[in-house]
A and B are shown apart, each in its own frame.
Chain A
Amino acid sequence: MKFFALSSLSILAISLSAFAATQGPNDAQIAHIVVTANAIDIDAGKLAEGKTKNAEVKKFAQQMVTDHSAVNEQAGALAKKLGVTPEDNDTSKSLQTGATENISKLNSLSGAAFDKEYVAHEVAYHQAVLDTIDKTLIPSATNGELKALIVKVRPAIAAHLGHAKMLDAKLSGKKSHAHKHG
């Protein structure tokens, strides 16, 4: 299951390498990547919220929907203020391809198997998004307000990753090394 989750995200890595090899995404493309990345996790969260019977997984999924919706609202408001129309690009397309695969996989699962796959994917996904923020989006953003928003969002993605890791460890019956209320 983790191999599947990671293989779909490797498409993202290849796409970002293509950007790195040229000049990085422009601000309109960055805006599109941000909105797409948030929308993907909102969709996965809504699916998990409706399907899981595990209270902690449901709570996590609900938080993903709430948080990523809040970020998308701010991203959309900023794009409007700046007069930037988010521009589709290969990275957004890669993210969407991975999301379609993930949703298809999740729809084929139920019970504990669903919970494990959803959470495992959330770990991989948030790590991939964090890497994208650090290696591509922040370095490439030219508009100061757009860069500032991405910088401000970064800790939220890192916190989501931490939360997902804690939950993943719990579902796997392992002790988590991720920080929890400590």
Chain B
Amino acid sequence: MAKPRKSLAALVAGLVLLAGSLSASAKDIQVKIEGMSFVPKNIQAKVGDTITWTNQDILPHTVTDLKKSKPLMNSGTLLPGASFQIKVLRSGNIHYGCLLHPTMSAQIHAGK
């Protein structure tokens, strides 16, 4: 479903690639990681949209598909201030969370 782009350097590279590929209707959905939560908790996205997480919390976190086999995305450790971005490639749902803090989770609902 999602093509992961890791770390801030990858985010910059990703933005260059996206500049030529974003359709007029594609959105960049922003998610804040703060207060040990993903805000907003539920994302409605469409194929072609990008989703960008920014860690505005005081602790490191991850953005990881919680599916046990073949997770569709994993940011690795995001330090405070770091960002992670994916592009939605197909429809589906992802239940994701932080591998470091198991009380944190959220959902992506992607349609066509």
Give Cα A178 to B105, complex, Å: 13
Residue pair B58, A163 in contact (C-beta under 8 Å)? no
Identify the 3 closest CB pairs spanning chains A and B, nearest first: A162-B103, A155-B35, A155-B36
- Asked if A181 meets B58 with Cβ closer than 8 Å, knowing A163-B101, A163-B102, the reply is no
Give Cα A158 to B101, complex, Å: 11
A66, A71, A178, A179: the one contacting B58 at CB < 8 Å is A71
Residue A43 interfacial (CB < 8 Å): no
Q: Which of B59-112 contact A (CB under 8 A)?
A: 59-60, 66, 95, 97, 100-105
A92-125 CB mask vs B (1 if < 8 Å, else 0) is 0000000000000000000000000000000000
| Secondary structure class of chain A's binding surface, majority of residues | helix
Residue B37 interfacial (CB < 8 Å): yes
How many A-B residue pairs have C-beta atoms within 8 angstroms? Tell me.
Answer: 48
**Known interface pairs A66-B100, A159-B103, A181-B105; 8 further A-B residue pairs with C-beta atoms within 8 A, sorted by A's residue number:** A70-B58, A152-B57, A155-B36, A163-B102, A181-B95, A181-B102, A181-B103, A181-B104
Residues of B contacting A74 in the complex (Cβ-Cβ under 8 angstroms): 58
Chain B interface size band reads 10 to 19
Residue A174 interfacial (CB < 8 Å): no
Give Cα A151 to B76, complex, Å: 27
Please give the residue numbers on chain A whose beta carbons come within 8 Å of chain B beta carbons, in ascending order.
63, 66-67, 70-71, 74, 149, 152-153, 155-156, 158-159, 162-163, 166, 178-182
Residues of A contacting B37 in the complex (Cβ-Cβ under 8 angstroms): 155
